[in-house]
Structure 1
Amino acid sequence: MERTSCPDFNEWNVGKDWLRSYPSEVPHRLTYSRETVPEMLKSTVDAFPHHGAISYLGVRITYQQLWTDVTRFADALVRMGLCPGDAVCIMLPNCPQAVIAFYGILHAGAVVVMANPLYVERELQYQLQDSGAKIIVALDQLQERVMGAIEKTKIEQVIFTGAHDYLTTAQSPACSSTSPVIGDTRLHRWLDVLGAEREKVDFSSRRTDDVALIQYTGGTTGTPKGVMLTHGNINANTQQIRAWFYRFEPGKERVLCVLPFFHVYGLTMGMHLGVAIGAELILLPRFDSDRILEIIAKERPTMFPGTPTMYIALINHPKVRQYNLSSIKGCISGAAGLPVEVQQRFEELTGGRVVEGYGLTEASPVTHCIPLWHKRKAGSIGLPLPDTEAKIVDPETAAVIAGGEVGELVVKGPQVMKGYWNRPDETSAVLRDGWLFTGDLAYMDEDGFFHIVGRKKDIIIAGGYNIYPREVEEVLFEHPGIQEAVVVGVPDPYRGETVKAYIVRKAGIDVSVAEIEQFCRSNLASYKVPRAIEFRTALPKTLSGKILRRQLLEEEKEVAAKNIKNS
C-alpha cells in the first residue's frame, strides 16, 4: 500500500511549545496511508471480518456483512446512472442505512452531502440546489417534506428507508413503510435497491485529494456554506485521533454513537474512528438520558464521544447511580466548553476519563485535544494533534501575538478543508497560505495548552471592557444549583452591551437571582457579573447538543423591537 511519509524533522518542531507537553506515546508527526475513505473500511473488513460492526436496537451486523451491503448499494447507485463526482444527499438519523449509504456513495466514486432530518423544506431545498445533488436517501417519514423540496433541484432519484428495514417484525411490529407514490419512477424502497439483481460494475478510482464530503456549516452567521472535505482530510483526521487515543485496542472497543452522523463531529469521532480501529458502533437515533443509561449498562461501550449537555443530563439523572457505567474508558467532549465540575462528576460515576477537544467543520473537525491519559489542564482545549500547527494572531492585522495574550486562533494541518463549495471569495477570506482562520479567540499558556475564551462575534463589550462568555459560564457552572448556563451580550443604553445569563436550575434546587448575583460577584470582576438573569426549563440546542446562542440573541432582538413598537 502506498504511504506518504512525514518524518519528525527537528526543524518542524521549532517554535511548537506544545510538543513539550505531548505524551511520550504520541508521535509529533505521522505517516499516512493513501487510502480513500471506503478503502479505510475495507482494511478493517479484511482484518476483522466476523467482528461486530454495528449494533442497532438489538440487531447486529458484522464487518463482512456491512461491506457486502456497502458494495451492493454502490452497485445500485452506478446502475441508477450515478457518475464519479456526482453528489448524493443522506437525510437519516444514526442507523445502519446511514453508515451503508455513506461508504457506498464514496465506493461508487460519488460525493456525500449530509442533511439534518429536522430540516424544513426550504432548508433542504437550498442544500440540494447548492450542492447539485442527483440522488437523496431519506427517512420514509420525511416523504412529504422531501418531495416538496426536490422541486427546482437536480434530484433524479429518491431512496426511502425506515427503521423497519433492519428490524424483524418481532422486534418492531408497529413499523410500517411509507410507500413511494404510485407511478413515480423516481422513487425507490431501500430494500428493493439493495436486493436488486447485481451487475458487474467498474467502480471509479478516486484519489485522496478528491472531495469526499460536502458538509454544510450551521449558517448561524449567514447562509450555510458547503465545506469540501477530501478523502485525505478525513483519513488524516481519523489517523490523528487514533494516534492520540493510543490505548484503544483494535477489534476490542465499542463506540456509543449518539452524536448525529449528519454533524461532522459525530461522523469523525463516532463512525470513522470506530471503523478505523475495528470497533462496534452502537447506534442511537437520538439522545435520551433514560435510554443512554440503559444502553451503557447493557451494551458496555468503552468510548462515548459527546457534548457537555449530554454529560450534564446524565450526571443529573435521578437514577444514575442505579446503572453500571464502568465500561466507559474514555470520552471526548466537543461543541462547547466542558465545565470542570461536569468532567469531575462524570469521571467519578464511570471511572473513565473525559477530556475536552476542539475543532470546526472546516478541519474535519478535530485540531486540538487534551491528552486522555496524561497531563490535563482544566478549562483548556488541549494541545494540537500530530502534524497540526497553531498560533495566536491579532484579529485585525494577523500578526503573531506573544504567548499568554488573547487573539484569534489559526490552524494548519492535513485535516484542513479544500475550501468552500463554489465560494472562492469566502474560501480566500478564511484560508490564507494554508492557515485556517477559525474566528475563535484564544491564548496559549506556558505549557503549550490552548484556551478558548469565545468567538470574535460573541465577545461582549460592556463599558469598553472585553468580556468572554466562557469565563462567566465557567463560574456559573460552579454554583451547586445550576445545571446549565449560557451567557450573551444584550444591548444596554449606558454600557453599550451588558451580560445576560440564561440558566437552567438543577431539579429540586430553588436558587434565586440574588443568590446567583452574589455568587458571581465573589468570583468575577464587577463588570463581568450578569446584569440580567433569566431562568428557563431548557435551553435551545442543536441535535448534536450545542447550545444555540444566536437563537437567544434573536429572541432578545424581537423583544426589544416589540418594546420599542409599544412604547
Structure 2
Amino acid sequence: MITHKPWRSSYPAGVPHELDYGAYGSLLDLLDESFTKYANQPAYWCMGKHFSYQVIDHASKKLATYLQSLGLKKGARVAIMLPNIPQYPIALYAVLRAGYIVVSINPLYTPRELSAQLSDCGAETILLLEHFGKTLEDAFAIEGQAIALKHVVITSIAEMLGWKGPWLDRFIRTFKRKVVPYVLPNHLQSIQFSQALERGAQLSYQKPAISQSDIALLQYTGGTTGISKGAILTHRNLIANVMQIEAWLKPIQQRKTIEAWHFLCALPMYHIFALTGCGLLGMRLGARILLVPNARDLPNLIGILKEFPEINVFPGVNTLFQALLNNSKFTDLDFSRWALTIGGGMAVQRSVAERWQALTGTVITEGYGLSETSPVASCNTPLAQEFTGSIGLPLPDTEMCIRDEDGRDLVAGQVGEIYIRGPQVMSGYWQQESETSNVLGSDGYFRTGDIGLMDEAGYFKIVDRKKDMILVAGFNVYPNEVEDIVASIPGVVECAVVGVRQTSSGEAVKLFVVREDLNVTESLIMDVCNRELTHYKRPTQIEFRESLPKNNVGKILRRVLRDESNA
C-alpha cells in the first residue's frame, strides 16, 4: 500500500486527485449522452465527407439492432477488422450498444495471425472490409484452430464514402490489397454492411442490461514480446480512462480557450491508443475526429493537415513525428492553432521532440500506458513548456510505484519495474489464468514489464522494456539510451538497438540504422557513441537497412530484429 504519493503535489491547478465514475451505468450511457448533446455537430470526417453525431448515432443503432437479431447471447464476441474509415466507429459503437464484446483486429493480419486471434476469442461475428476477405478465407484453412464464426458483415469503401477514382486507387495502393474473389465456408451467413443497416432499421432496438463490470473490449496486445494476449477491459475500465484523460486536459482547454476540439486520428482505431484517445475521448468531448486510413501515406496525411489547420489535438508515435519532420512539405504548414501533441505507444526521442517544438511551437506531451491499462496510466501536464523525457504523473485515482525483483517498493531515484493500480487496469487476460497471475498481484497492482524510476516530485521515467534490456558483462544496457544518442545524429532517419549473444560478455549491443545521408558512416556513428556512451553501452555491430520492422502503430519491433540477429 503506497502512503507517499508525491505526484499529487505536482498536479496542475484544477485537476482533481479523485473522480466519480458512478454517473454512467455503462459505456452506453456515456455514448448516448454525447449523441444527444452534440447531435448536429460533425463527429467524423474521412476523405472529403463529414458524418454528424446524429448520423453516427442512427447508423450504429441500426447496426446494433441487426446484431441483436442474430440471437447472440450476452457476452458474445464481435470482431472488427477495419481500417480508419467511417464504418469502424459505427461498428465499434454498434457492438457496444448491442451489449456485446468488441474484439479489435488488425486488418493487415496474415491468415495465421487472424486464425489464432479468432480461435482464441471465440468471436461469432466479424465486420470486415471486402479487401481483406481473402485473408479470412485463408484463415479457415489453418490447421489446429477452432474458429467459431457464424456471421460476416462485409463492407466496401463506397458504402459510406462513395470513393472512386484517385482516392480509391490510393487506398488500394496503401494497403496493397485489391478486392479478389473469395469463398467463405458454407456455414457462414454473410451480409453487406448497408443491408445490415436496412434490416436493423426495420426492427426494434432493445437497450441491453449492461453494468460497469461487464466486459466491453478484448484488446489484444501487440505481441512484440511474445504471444498476443487478449486484455479484458470492462465498461468501468474505459469509462474511467476517458474521464481521467478528460480531467487531465482541462488545464490546456482553459489556457488555450479551446472552443471546439478537432482530433487528428492518424493512428489506427483498432489500436487501444486511438480507440480510447480518439474514438471514445473524442466522442466525450464532442470533437470532430478526422480519420486517416493510413498514416504511412505521408502525402495524404500532410494534405489533411493543410486542409484542416484548425486541428488542435494530434496523438502520435515517435516514428510518425520523425517521418513528418523529415518531409519538406510538412514544414510549410500552419501550426498556429495546434494546442496539443500527445506522444505514446513508444518512447519519444529527445532529438525528435526538440525539432518538433522548434517547428510547430507545441511540446510533445508524452504519456504512458499499455493495452492492459485502457491505455493511459500517466502523462505529462499539457501545460509543460518543454520536453522533459519523463512519462509524467499518474492520472487521477492511479497509483504507480517502482519495485525490485522481489516486489519490494524502491525509493525515488532507484531503478526497477513499474507497477500500476487504478480503475483503468484490466481484470486479466482472456482465458489465460497463469498469464494473468504473472502480472496481476493480490494487491491489485499490474506488473508492466517496463523498467523505470520515479523522482522526488512524483514524475516517472521509462528506462526501457524489461525484456529489451541487454546484459553486457554484468552491466545493464537500455536500448532507449543508445537509440536517443544515435537518433540525434543528422541524417539518421530511425534506429534500433538489440542484444545479440556473445560468448565472452553474455550479450553485445547491435545497432540498426536507417539513414538518408550516406555520409552517416559506421565510423561517424562510433565517434558519437564513443563520446557520449561508456564503453559497455557502445554498439559492437552496426547494420544499415532500408527500413525497420514495425507494428500497426509504427512501433519498431526490436523482438524481430533480435530474433533475426540471434538465429
Letter matched to residue 164 of structure 1: A
Partner of 2:175: none
Per the TM alignment, residue 328 of structure 1 is displaced from its structure 2 partner at its CA by 2.1
Whole-angstrom distance in 2 between the partners of 1:212 and 1:129: 19
Q: Classify the secondary structure of the residue corresponding to 1:362.
A: helix
Per the TM alignment, residue 471 of structure 1 is displaced from its structure 2 partner at its CA by 1.3
Question: 5 Å matches for 1:137-148?
Answer: 137-148=127-138
Residue from 103, 110, 128 that aligns with 1:113: 103
Whole-angstrom distance in 2 between the partners of 1:181 and 1:456: 44
Per the TM alignment, residue 40 of structure 1 is displaced from its structure 2 partner at its CA by 1.7
Structure 2 gaps, min length 5: 173-177
Question: 5 Å matches for 1:92-171?
Answer: 92-150=82-140, 152-168=146-162
CA-to-partner distance for each residue in 1:413-471, whole Å, 9 max, x for gaps? 00000111111221111111210000111111122111111122111111111111111
Q: Do structure 1's residue 18 and structure 2's residue 21 form an aligned pair? A: no
Partner of 1:231: 235
Q: Classify the secondary structure of the residue corresponding to 2:277.
A: helix
Question: 5 Å matches for 1:22-101?
Answer: 22-32=11-21, 33-101=23-91
Whole-angstrom distance in 1 between the partners of 2:259 and 2:189: 40
Partner of 1:426: 435
Letter matched to residue 379 of structure 1: G
Whole-angstrom distance in 2 between the partners of 1:170 and 1:217: 35
Q: Report the more deviating stretch, 62-71 or 149-158.
A: 149-158
Q: Do structure 1's residue 512 and structure 2's residue 521 form an aligned pair? A: yes
Q: Do structure 1's residue 525 and structure 2's residue 515 form an aligned pair? A: no
Verify the 8 A CA contact 2:363 2:387 in the aligned structure 1: no
Task: Give the share of equivalent positions with the same residue, in percent.
Answer: 38
Whole-angstrom distance in 2 between the partners of 1:312 and 1:79: 47
Partner of 2:341: 331
Q: Do structure 1's residue 222 and structure 2's residue 222 form an aligned pair? A: no
Whole-angstrom distance in 1 between the partners of 2:551 and 2:168: 31
Q: CA separation of 1:555/1:180 partners in 2, compared to 1, >3 Å: closer, same or farther?
A: closer
Per the TM alignment, residue 30 of structure 1 is displaced from its structure 2 partner at its CA by 1.4
Whole-angstrom distance in 1 between the partners of 2:436 and 2:164: 51
Per the TM alignment, residue 29 of structure 1 is displaced from its structure 2 partner at its CA by 1.3
Verify the 8 A CA contact 1:296 1:325 in the aligned structure 2: no
CA-to-partner distance for each residue in 1:166-194, whole Å, 9 max, x for gaps? 12366767799778869876111111111
Q: Do structure 1's residue 203 and structure 2's residue 207 form an aligned pair? A: yes
Q: CA separation of 1:436/1:476 partners in 2, compared to 1, >3 Å: closer, same or farther?
A: same
Q: CA separation of 1:449/1:509 partners in 2, compared to 1, >3 Å: closer, same or farther?
A: farther
Whole-angstrom distance in 2 between the partners of 1:312 and 1:48: 35
Verify the 8 A CA contact 1:244 1:385 in the aligned structure 2: yes
RMSD: 2.1
Which 4+ runs in 1 deviate beyond 3 A? Answer: 169-185, 248-251, 374-377
CA-to-partner distance for each residue in 1:394-421, whole Å, 9 max, x for gaps? 12x1011121010110010000001111
Whole-angstrom distance in 2 between the partners of 1:321 and 1:331: 16
Verify the 8 A CA contact 2:81 2:128 in the aligned structure 1: yes
CA-to-partner distance for each residue in 1:53-111, whole Å, 9 max, x for gaps? 00011110000111000100000101122222111000000111110111100101100
Q: Classify the secondary structure of the residue corresponding to 1:336.
A: coil
Q: Do structure 1's residue 554 and structure 2's residue 557 form an aligned pair? A: no
CA-to-partner distance for each residue in 1:186-212, whole Å, 9 max, x for gaps? 111111111225212423110011000
Structure 1 gaps, min length 5: 1-11, 559-567
Letter matched to residue 357 of structure 2: E
Verify the 8 A CA contact 2:354 2:387 in the aligned structure 1: no
Whole-angstrom distance in 2 between the partners of 1:509 and 1:352: 31
Query: Please, what TM-score do these two structures have when normalized by structure 1?
Result: 0.92
Q: CA separation of 1:110/1:519 partners in 2, compared to 1, >3 Å: closer, same or farther?
A: same
Residue from 181, 188, 191 that aligns with 2:191: 188
Verify the 8 A CA contact 1:21 1:375 in the aligned structure 2: no
Q: CA separation of 1:178/1:204 partners in 2, compared to 1, >3 Å: closer, same or farther?
A: farther
Q: CA separation of 1:157/1:150 partners in 2, compared to 1, >3 Å: closer, same or farther?
A: farther
Question: 5 Å matches for 1:278-293?
Answer: 278-287=286-295, 288-293=297-302
Verify the 8 A CA contact 2:302 2:329 in the aligned structure 1: no
Q: Do structure 1's residue 314 and structure 2's residue 318 form an aligned pair? A: no
Verify the 8 A CA contact 2:64 2:205 in the aligned structure 1: no
